[in-house]
Amino acid sequence: MARVKIDMPEKLGFTTQIPVRVTDINYGGHVGNDSILSIIHQARIDFLQSMGYEERGAGDTGLIMADAALVYKGEGFLGDVFDIAIGAADIAPFGFDIYYRITTVRNDKTIIIAEAKSGMIFFDYTHRKVARLPEEWKEKLSAYM
């Protein structure tokens, strides 16, 4: 069976921390896959805010997720604090990719929980169509490549 492969960029220049909540735990006793998507969503919000942006952007335009890929490397548990390193790549006229590496420290050892990528497209929510990524965004995102 073919597996998803994510070619993580070398530079992941932004970091944020997100504690695992009881609502993130599934019946297997570890962080659920749906929670990992929610956690990277919060990490993306933190990343954008660090540049002075919001997902909704300015006016009627903002970001919309075109795709997402997740590769699980370890288990996360209640009480963990996830360190999430983020970088950008593949900046194009209409969007870019964001890469995430989720780790935690347990018993003085760093454990990789997951790696992920989300393809983000700039979107005009009024006209319901793809819009051009503003040059200002391209410039700021380039610092994280």
Three-state DSSP class for residue 50:
helix
* CA distances to 71, 100, 121 from 6, in Å: 7, 10, 19
CB 98 within 8 A of CB 120: yes
pTM of the model: 0.95
pLDDT per 10-residue tile (average), the chain, 145 residues: 91 97 97 96 97 85 96 97 97 97 97 98 94 94 91
So what's the pLDDT on residue 7?
A: 95
Q: How many C-beta atoms surround the C-beta of residue 130 within 10 A?
A: 16
CA 129 from centre of chain? 23
pLDDT in tens, 1-40: 889 999 999 999 999 999 999 999 999 999 999 999 999 9
pLDDT value at residue 2: 82
Domain boundaries, the chain: 14-142
pLDDT at position 1 is 84
The CATH number assigned to the domain with range 14-142 reads 3.10.129.10
